[in-house]
């Protein structure tokens, strides 16, 4: 397969962006910026791939060509919209990589975008339930938070109450997010606040409190992908050592849901494809849509044995300067989770780390980073392993 590199990127702040009325505006804010960051011109782009979930967040669907409003030089270029639930951004990245691997072009522009805050909160919950198996899960109270509350309840029943670990994960990610200029919430809430039910941190569903749930966000992120030959002529490049997609069954009733079996398989394939082990990684950005998801990811990626994920957070393994920092960006918990933008954003965060451009998030000399982006309840699983090429 043709080697693919990330050579440029751009990222808006995440949050309730009242100065961005629609996805089109957000797309315009990152498209030209990412191309310029790569040291290229819009005319150099061979194809555009847009990750946009929508699902009812906005009336304007069919977003593939919206980038041409802000960059008319892209007119007549092929443009395609991708969607794969909360892994929509990674689906767009894979499409961009496949375009290059097929020899149909050298340069792909990938944009992930979502405008979520224009609809009432109750509608947000119902829209997100479209990422579940509606025949069985459509009436779960509290929307997608209710789905993950069921997962948390099942995990607690099998392995014991993990409320201390979930609070520690939330506190870690909020602490890390202070250094992320794009994060929706840049505040160190502290462990005690995250552990305690209060008026400001109420129970949302089951054992999950507000601090266990990622934020409803607007935002966009973009990447420029090239083949290795083109990347060698540019100022910076981050190489994909592995890029794996594994899909599992949609109904949670059809799986042992607390094992995240699709995620485990994606990690296994990624390590094999990259020729590395967990011990070779410098950091990981993982999909913490809810704190219980990050806890189970520790086990899926091999950081802890089954049922012992709490050890990785409670002993400091995944802290910013621990053995394997997880979510040094603050993760979705602090950064926010605009559905279509998330997978692209996670890859931007990893590329910034590997090129030393992460500012207040920067780790000490990272050499190999991993990204894990998940759609639904461990249904669409994307694992990437990245290293600096230039």
Rounded-to-integer distance, Cα 160 and Cα 264, Å: 22
Rounded-to-integer distance, Cα 173 and Cα 227, Å: 34
CA distances from 258 to 172, 230, 264, 374, 380 (A): 22, 43, 11, 14, 15
Q: Which among 355, 375, 388, 107 has a CA at the least distance from the CA of 239?
A: 388
Catalytic status, residue 86: yes
DSSP 100-149: HHTTS-SEEEEEEEEE-TTS-HHHHHHHHGGGS-HHHHTT-TTHHHHHHH
Rounded-to-integer distance, Cα 269 and Cα 20, Å: 39
Q: Which one is catalytic: 11, 99, 297, 337?
A: 337
Catalytic status, residue 213: no
What are the CB-based long-range contacts (under 8 Å, 24+) for 17-20? 17/115, 17/117, 17/218, 17/219, 20/115, 20/218
Q: Which one is catalytic: 86, 131, 213, 289?
A: 86
Cα-flanking dihedrals φ and ψ of residue 160, to 5°?
95, 165
Strand 79-82 to strand 47-51: parallel, antiparallel, or no bridges (unpaired)? parallel
Strand 208-209 to strand 283-286: parallel, antiparallel, or no bridges (unpaired)? unpaired
Rounded-to-integer distance, Cα 244 and Cα 383, Å: 5
Just list the catalytic residues.
86, 337
């Amino acid at each position: 397969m043709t080697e693919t590199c990330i050579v440029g990127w751009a990222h808006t702040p995440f949050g309730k962006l009242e100065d961005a009325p629609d996805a089109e505006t957000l797309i315009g804010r990152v498209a030209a910026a990412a191309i310029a960051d790569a040291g290229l011109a819009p005319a150099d782009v061979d194809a555009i791939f847009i990750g946009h979930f929508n699902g009812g967040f906005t009336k304007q669907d069919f977003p593939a060509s919206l980038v041409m409003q802000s960059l008319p030089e892209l007119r007549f270029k092929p443009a395609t919209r991708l969607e794969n639930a909360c892994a929509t951004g990674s689906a767009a990245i894979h499409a961009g990589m496949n375009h290059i691997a097929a020899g149909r072009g050298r340069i792909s522009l990938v944009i992930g975008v979502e405008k979520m805050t224009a609809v009432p909160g109750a509608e947000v919950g119902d829209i997100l339930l479209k990422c579940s198996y509606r025949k069985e899960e459509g009436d779960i109270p509290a929307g997608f938070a209710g789905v993950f509350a069921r997962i948390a309840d099942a995990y607690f029943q099998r392995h014991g109450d993990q409320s201390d670990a979930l609070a520690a994960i939330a506190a870690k990610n909020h602490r890390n997010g202070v250094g992320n200029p794009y994060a929706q919430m840049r505040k160190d809430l502290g462990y005690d606040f995250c552990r305690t039910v209060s008026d400001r941190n109420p129970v949302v569903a089951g054992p999950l409190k507000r601090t266990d749930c990622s934020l409803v966000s607007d935002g966009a992120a973009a990447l420029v992908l090239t083949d290795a030959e083109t990347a060698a002529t540019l100022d910076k490049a981050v190489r994909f050592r592995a890029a794996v997609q594994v899909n599992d069954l949609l109904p949670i009733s059809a799986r042992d849901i607390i094992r995240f079996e699709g995620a485990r398989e994606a990690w296994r394939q990624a390590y094999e494809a990259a020729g590395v082990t967990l011990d070779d990684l410098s950091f990981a950005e993982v999909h913490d849509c809810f704190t219980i998801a990050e806890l189970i990811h520790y086990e899926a990626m091999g950081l802890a044995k089954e049922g012992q994920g709490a050890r990785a957070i409670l002993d400091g393994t995944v802290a910013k300067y621990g053995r394997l920092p997880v979510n040094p960006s603050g993760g979705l918990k602090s950064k926010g989770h605009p559905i279509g933008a998330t997978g692209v954003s996670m890859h931007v965060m990893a590329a910034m780390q590997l090129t030393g451009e992460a500012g207040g998030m920067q780790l000490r000399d990272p050499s190999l980073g991993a990204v894990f982006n998940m759609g639904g309840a461990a249904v669409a699983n994307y694992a990437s392993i990245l290293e600096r090429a230039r």
